[in-house]
Amino acid sequence: MRVLVTGGAGYVGSVSVERLVASGHDVTVLDSLVTGHRSAVVDGARLVQGTLRDRDGLERLLREERIDAVLHCAARSLVGQSAAEPALYYTENVVGGVGLLDAMLGAGVERLVFSSTAAVYGAPEVVPIPEDAPVAPINPYGETKRAFEGAMRWYGGAYGLRGVALRYFNVAGATERNGEQHDPETHLVPNVLAAALGRRQLTVFGTDYPTPDGTCIRDYIHVEDLANAHLAALELTARKHPTTGSPGSDPGSERPEPGGGDPTPGHGGLTVCNLGSGSGFSVLEVIRAAGSVVGRPIPYQVGARRPGDPAALIASNARARDLLGWTPRHGTLEEMIGSAWRWLETHPEGYPP
Ligand code: UFG
């Protein structure tokens, strides 16, 4: 298939591009390179530097490249930054995203897989979290992802967009070629490894959560497993209706309700899937696992809670297994952290500027 990957020079996007190219697909990457890295795009994919806000340019690109399906990874994705600069998040994640939808409509491209997030669940009452849990984001980042899911759902009902929204839990790890490099870096695994290298001081944000060791629990998923799920989701959108072939009769899909609001799953128009391993690890468990990977204990200090951190986020991944035929292959923390560590060892300066 001919796929456009927005944000294909970023962390998740670049690994998905690697996977798509390795599977014989024809890939065009659209990336502004504001947070992405040119050299993260594997040979064999075409890189176009541009933004989602150029709606007409996007439509032209979709037509010229005869795109069959879009994998939409481009986004602003820092929770803390989103609270300080919501305008940036609404502009890029919502306005940019809707521009992409409209360009797709114009060019007659109906298939879309979207990088969504567990942040749409906010602070969930029940873990593992099923896809039909209440959607109640607690920061602008999650809210803008939810807003775009909503647009996909309504466009699915009205215009026949065949969409799958993948709600990622905590992505970690690297391939041989591509790894995680954000500026600023806020994520736990890269911060722990930077502390192992003596490049930064590690702070554990809060030890008074209602969890067994008092630190937050998260569901970590290897970026390579995530890339496999993207491929499966893209293949799912080839069906007339992603889930069943006939709209509206599958528990994995959602259809707009008259009157709007936030339609609950169980209808038709958008397929939503969690991507997580189904098990959770605390911050201290991650630090210990990293210590065994690097062969020495990793120093840390205990600090205050970080605003907006829910105590525990763990996915129910039954739907991803059923609908996508997907199972995570790199399940252990050591495997995930080990691959990230190898990437740091082989790329000591990260990506070239
Ligand atoms: N943490 C630390 N110290 C650090 C960094 C993180 O203690 O230096 C803690 C956090 O407080 C949290 C846990 O480690 O308890 C994981 O934090 P991350 O920043 O790695 O990840 P988050 O769970 O905050 O966020 C991730 C994605 C978001 C997504 C969210 C949904 O980065 O984009 O998962 O689950 F919204």
User: Does the Cβ of 306 fall within 6 Å of ligand 1?
Assistant: yes
Residue 259 has pLDDT above 70, yes or no: no
pLDDT value of residue 260: 31
Ligand 1 centroid–CA 188 distance in Å is 6
Distance (Å) of CA 76 to CA 115, 120, 190: 11, 15, 18
Residue 263: inside a domain: yes
C-alpha angle 238-227-236 in degrees, rounded to nearest 5 = 15
77, 93, 170, best to mutate for ligand 1 pocket (most atoms within 8 Å of CB): 170
Chain centroid to Cα 147, Å, comes to 15
Ligand 1 centroid – CA 137 distance (Å)? 15
Range of the domain at 114: 2-346
- C-alpha to C-alpha distance for 8 and 335, rounded to whole angstroms: 24
Helix residue ranges per DSSP H, 46-199: 55-64, 79-84, 86-89, 96-107, 140-159, 188-196
Residue 54 maps to a domain: yes
Highest mean pLDDT among 38-42, 157-161, 346-350: 38-42
Question: For ligand 1, atom 36, which residue shows the shortest CA distance?
Answer: 119
Is pLDDT at 265 greater than 80 in this prediction? no
The Cα 5–Cα 3 span in angstroms is: 6
User: Does ligand 1 have an atom closer than 6 angstroms to the CB of 203?
Assistant: yes
Residue 247 has pLDDT above 50, yes or no: no
- The preferred substitution site among 141, 146, 205, 211 for testing ligand 1, maximizing ligand atoms within 8 Å of CB, is 205
Predicted confidence (pLDDT) per residue in 52-95, tens digit: 989 999 999 999 999 999 999 999 999 889 999 999 999 999 99
Whether 353 is covered by a domain: the verdict is no
**With 50 as the cut, is the pLDDT of residue 248 above it?**
no
Percentage with pLDDT > 70 across the chain: 92
Q: Residue 312: pLDDT above 60? A: yes
Q: Give the number of domains in the chain.
A: 1
Task: Catalogue the active-site residues.
Answer: 141
Q: How far is the CA of 61 from the centre of ligand 1 (A)?
A: 35
Kindly state whether residue 352 falls inside one of the protein's structural domains: no
What's the average model confidence in pLDDT over 97-122? 97
Query: Is the pLDDT score of 296 beyond 50?
Result: yes
Is residue 31 assigned to a domain? yes
Of all protein residues, the one whose alpha carbon is nearest to atom 19 of ligand 1 is: 187
Cβ–ligand 1 contact at 255 (below 6 Å): no
- We report the CATH number of the domain holding residue 103 as 3.40.50.720
